[in-house]
Each structure stands twice: as C-alpha cells, then as structure tokens.
Amino acid sequence: MAKSVAAAPQTLVPQKGWRRFAFNCKRDWMLYAMCLIPVVYVLIFNYIPMYGIQLAFRDYKPRKGIWGSPWIGLDNYREFFAFYGSKNYILNTLAISTYQLALFPLPVLLALVIHAYKGKTFKKIVQNVSYVPHFISLVVLCGMLSTVLSPLTGLVATLNKTFGFNIGDLRSDPRAYRHVYVWSDVWQNLGWNTILYLSALSGVPDEVHEAAKVDGASRFRRIWVVDFPTILPMCSLMLIMQFGSLFSVGYQKAYLMMNAANASVAGMMSTYVYTHGIKTGEMGMGQAVGLMNSVLGMILTLIANGVADRLSDGEMALF
C-alpha cells in the first residue's frame, strides 16, 4: 500500500474536499471496504438506537409508537429516585465496579509473567487454559457457582466435612456476594484480558532485552524498565475505558446471582432496568436509567482522560 502511495505523482493528489476523499477511496479501497463492516455495525447497533433515547422522557406505549407516546419530562427519573433502593443500587453498582477496577493490574501482571517465561510449550498451555473460561456463558458460570458453593452438596460441603471448616452458603450471604461476583469474573476473564497486553509486549525487540542484559539488568529489572513501559500506554487506554463503564455493570450475572437474601448488595442499576423496566414493560424507565448510566460513564471517561492527559503530557490520553 505504501508502495502505491509513493508511486502516485504528488501533483495529482487533490488537496482537500470530496475529491481528496474520492481519491483516497479509490486508492485504498480495500482498507475502506474492511472498515465498512464495523462502521455499519456501529451505525446499526450504536447510532440508530440513539433515536430511542427520547423514550427516557416519554411514557412509552408501543401501540402508539415512539412519536405517539406522550412526553412526560423527567418523570421517569423522579420515579427512579423515589424508589427507596435507588441510592443503594447506585452505591452497589459503584462498589462492584470499583472492586473490579482495583483488580485492574492482574491481567497486566499475568501478561508480564507469561511474556517473561521462555518455555514456549508451557506458555502456550498457560495461555490456552486461562482463555478457556472466557467462553463459558454467564448462565453456565452462575450454575457452576451455585453447584460448587452449595454448603449441602457442593465443593464447600466437601471442604467443610474434610477439613472441619464452617463455611456457610456463600450464594446467599450478602457479605460474600461481591467477592464471589468479582473473583469469579477474574477466573473467567483474566486470561482473556491479557491478550491485548501480550500483543503489545510481542512488539518489544529482543535486542532491547539483550542490551539490558549486557548492562547487568536482572529479569525483574528488565520487566520493569523494558516490558512495563511498552504496555503502559495500553494500560492507560484500558483504564480510561474501564472508568467509563463504572456505572455499567451488566445485569445478567448480577441478576442470576441475586436472591432475596443477598438482594441488598446485589441490586444494581442494571438489575433495576431489567426488573422495573423490561420485565414490567416500562421501557421508558429502563431507557431513563440506561441514559443516566451512559452520561455518567461519558463524564467519567472525560475526567479520566483529562487526568491521564495532564499526568503524561498527552502521551497516555485516549483523545
């Protein structure tokens, strides 16, 4: 591709406007064709649905359609905040997200360790074994958790009997809910989350490591001064994006793990959207809370990006 650009006479390249765009399309049509699929995807699933944002401010009646449903201003928000558990749901959402955020370094550490290990076979085995849980569906995962954590018949029961432990039912203990939620997520996605970092690390030339070795750097020192700086921009990027999803804990797992006993900590904004919005047909309410999540997420992303921008003189910022 670079060859074709170099071959094009400079004087024939339009400087701006539609002609420049058309010229680029003609020259790099394959790249544009490749872009087309994700662009269409984003259009259909991310932009067109924005049309429905107005539902947050309407009393949506499907029979009347979006335009026919009456405007109700901020009533959906008033109703959400009049719900006695709204504050608790917001705090629960933030608690889970923050917990997950605190474990953000784990995939980075695992990626550094895998990269530093030289045995190729063992490395492959570790990678594959750690990737596999990612492909388990949430429903199956929650079923596994329920079985394993059963104090009557599960692994917990075996531990209690064999070692004389007195572990209660972690499935219904509100104090255990967040730990089970987050650590099962770590188990499921830790390996998968290393992929980006490993691909970034694969770009580090061996010569750099060789030079560091010659300078007397230990293995740990080389990780610290060679590998880690390589993936730091990626870490920053991922961290900024994770800040943006602080209010967006998915409802599926939270809902599947929720029961009457742990509902005080398991109830989150997303479960509220499902139980009080989708299940009861109050789509406007669901949209209102969803929109609030998105706006707050965007604000947090901007703040995180601003902080990263300021601390790194623009090098680590997303935009």
Residue 242 · residue 99 · CB < 8 Å: no
Q: Pattern of binders to other proteins over 208-247, x per CB under 8 A? A: ----------------------------------------
How many residues lie near other proteins (CB under 8 A)? 42
Q: Which is nearer to other proteins, 164 or 216 (CB)?
A: 164
In whole angstroms, give the CA distance from residue 66 to residue 59.
9
Q: Pattern of binders to other proteins over 21-60, x per CB under 8 A? A: x---------------------xx--xx-xx--------x
Selected from 171, 178, 222, 253, the binder of other proteins by CB under 8 A is: 171
Map tokens 């979006």 to a residue: 66
Selected from 99, 101, 131, 151, the binder of other proteins by CB under 8 A is: 151
Which residues within the stretch 129-148 sit at the binding site for other proteins (CB under 8 A)? 146
Report helix, strand and coil shares of the chain as percent, to nearest 5. 75, 0, 25
Q: Judged by CB under 8 A, which stretch of 65-73, 195-203, 296-304, 310-318 contacts other proteins?
A: 65-73
* 306's tokens: 């601003």
Q: Which is nearer to other proteins, 18 or 71 (CB)?
A: 18
Q: Which is nearer to other proteins, 48 or 303 (CB)?
A: 48
Selected from 255, 276, 294, 302, the binder of other proteins by CB under 8 A is: 276
Q: Judged by CB under 8 A, which stretch of 3-11, 97-105, 220-228, 276-284 contacts other proteins?
A: 276-284
Residue 131 · residue 192 · CB < 8 Å: yes
Burial class (CB in 10 A: 0-12, 13-18, 19+), 186: middle
Q: Which is nearer to other proteins, 174 or 306 (CB)?
A: 174
Q: How many residues are listed for the chain in this entry? A: 319
* 50's tokens: 């924005």
Residue 71, classed as helix, strand or coil, is: strand
Complete DSSP assignment for 273-315: IIIIIITTT-HHHHHHHHHHHHHHHHHHHHHHHHHHHHHTTTS
Selected from 1, 2, 18, 119, the binder of other proteins by CB under 8 A is: 18
The angle at the Cα of 118, spanning 116 to 119, to the nearest 5 degrees, equals 135
Q: Which is nearer to other proteins, 168 or 297 (CB)?
A: 168
The β-bridge partners of 58 are: 71
Selected from 11, 260, 313, 319, the binder of other proteins by CB under 8 A is: 260
Residue 68 makes contact with other proteins by CB under 8 A: no
Residue 185, classed as helix, strand or coil, is: helix
**Which residues bind to other proteins, rule: CB under 8 A?**
18, 21, 43-44, 47-48, 50-51, 60-63, 65-67, 79, 82-85, 146, 150-153, 168-169, 171-174, 259-261, 263-264, 276, 278-281, 283
